[in-house]
Amino acid sequence: MKGKILNVTAAIMAWFSAVFFVNAYQIDCPQNIKVKEEVENMPDGWEVSDKDSLSSSFHSMIVYYDNPSRMGVLKPAKGTVAGKKHELIWEVNYHTDVEPYYVSCAYSTSRIELIKKIDSSMKSCWADYFEDEQGKRGTLTCSTSEAKDLH
């Protein structure tokens, strides 16, 4: 009997874990990146100085419709997701749109943006920014719940 209870408990915990994983997930922007510039088509007689790479810290997040190179920036709204209020919400509903959505992490002192595709099962995402002694951090949390009361 103890074995059955243990198996049922393990199955229930696994199911709840799977449901949470499918319903919401986070994308954390790397807090710092090292950037080293490269020159293509070096003119004859010139060479690049051996300076150290540039450390660039996280600045902000942007959500794009389709690949960011196509410049489809989405405007965030205020509203609620699953009953919780958020200041920066984006709708990312693949059921009505056919192109993928991306989050872009932008960095200070650099034109580099790191991009990551948002899972196609998500319907809304919201941004949270944090600051600590190491600097600014950003997290994009996405959910299968639709955003409500957007303005």
- Report pLDDT digits (tens) over 16-60: 444 444 477 899 999 988 887 778 888 898 887 776 667 788 899
Q: Residue 17 contacts by C-beta under 8 Å, 6 or more apart in sequence?
A: none
* pLDDT for position 2: 52
Helices within the chain (DSSP H only): 2-23
* pLDDT for position 14: 44
Q: Is residue 1's pLDDT more than 70?
A: no
* pLDDT for position 53: 65
| pLDDT tens-digit readout, 94-126 | 666 678 899 999 998 778 889 999 998 898 899
More confident: 68 or 88: 88
Q: What is the three-class DSSP state of 98? A: coil
Does the pTM of the predicted model rise above 0.85? no
Q: Is residue 13's pLDDT more than 50?
A: no
Tokens for 55, please give them.
């450390």
> How far is residue 42's CA from residue 14's CA, in Å, rounded to a whole number?
56
Q: Is residue 67's pLDDT more than 90?
A: no
